[in-house]
Amino acid sequence: MQFEPQRPRKPVRRIDLMTYGFGSASEPAPDASSAPILYIEDITVSFDGFKALDGLSLYVDDGELRCIIGPNGAGKTTMMDVITGKTRPDQGTAFFARSVDLLSLSEPEIAQAGIGRKFQVPTVFEHQSVFENLELALYTNKAVWPSLFARLNGAERDRIEEVLAIIGLTESRYSRAGVLSHGQKQWLEIGMLLMQSPRLLLLDEPVAGMTHEETEHTAELLLSLAGRHTIIVVEHDMEFVRSIGRRVTVLHEGRMLAEGRMQEVQNHPKVIEVYLGA
């Protein structure tokens, strides 16, 4: 990792995080002892005979912040595709919040059921303003006719302002999303997920292309969101995963290789062999 001179952190953002009501970033998330909010069992996905996922099972507790790591092609993105309805598995089951059968719902239905997803390549609506991007994401009736007559009410505007502050884009609210830096786009996309008020957030490589400082802010944000939301983060940046320091799942060739604290996983011989040792 590269060392950068540590600039003092802008105090504004800290205050914003606290007023948002997620508590201080250093506070551990409430221990989730409830049943899994995400329940994936024995999922297999094959592309022309090649198994991208091979009997994968994964259970994530309500309020948990889970990191998923694994070498390129391990099936991390494919797993998110299955959860969000983009890819239908050949076999297996996937349930959300006990009763929602993810395999029978379409992508928009899954999104409206409370699962938000950030893509591996940051994807925002480049030709629309930052504010409009968040407005589009806002959790509301998203059918065609209601959209034609939709007007933002006061509470909804406040919510957008709130999220703008959380993602540090208050000053850019009227800029086109296309002119944002790579890191800002990542943040905007995370902000869009927050607007959806999801119970489960899936983040595919959220700190890719971010500066060291931006990465730190992101870790801080995710820690502050855990507890309220369940979060699954796929990342290659080990420093980032370590700084989050929660439960880590290692995928390899479409299967789960190991699961546990970063410390345990790191010392797992198989993991060293296929991934960290490489």
Ligand X SMILES: Nc1ncnc2c1ncn2[C@@H]1O[C@H](COP(=O)(O)OP(=O)(O)OP(=O)(O)O)[C@@H](O)[C@H]1O
Candidate segments 17-25, 67-75, 132-140, 268-276, binder of ligand X by CB under 6 A? 67-75
CA 173 to chain centre: 22
CB of 148 to other proteins, least distance (A): 4
Binding mask 64-103 for other proteins (x = CB under 8 A): --------------------x-x-----------------
172 near Mg ion, rule: CB under 5 A: no
CB of 258 to ligand X, least distance (A): 15
Neighbours of 143 (CB within 10 A): 9
* 77 vs 218 by CB, closer to Mg ion: 77
Report what 25 binds from ligand X, Mg ion, other proteins, none; CB cut-off 5-8 Å by kind: none
CB of 11 within 8 A of CB of 214? no
The binder of other proteins chosen from 32, 73, 125, 156 (CB under 8 A)? 125
Rounded-to-integer distance, Cα 143 and Cα 141, Å: 6
From 23, 126, 104, 82, select the one nearest 232 (Cα to Cα): 82
77 near ligand X, rule: CB under 6 A: yes
Show Cβ contacts of residue 104 under 8 Å, excluding neighbours closer than 6 positions: none
Rounded-to-integer distance, Cα 220 and Cα 49, Å: 41
Candidate segments 44-52, 107-115, 223-231, 236-244, binder of other proteins by CB under 8 A? 107-115
Token pair of 76, please?
């991390």
The binder of ligand X chosen from 37, 38, 40, 52 (CB under 6 A)? 52
Show Cβ contacts of residue 200 under 8 Å, excluding neighbours closer than 6 positions: 37, 38, 60, 96, 114, 115, 116, 229, 230, 231, 232
The binder of other proteins chosen from 44, 46, 93, 112 (CB under 8 A)? 112
Q: By CB under 8 A, what part of segment 172-231 binds other proteins?
A: 176, 192, 196
Neighbours of 200 (CB within 10 A): 24
- Interacting residue ranges for ligand X, rule: CB under 6 A: 47, 52, 70, 72-78, 120
- Interacting residue ranges for Mg ion, rule: CB under 5 A: 76-77, 120
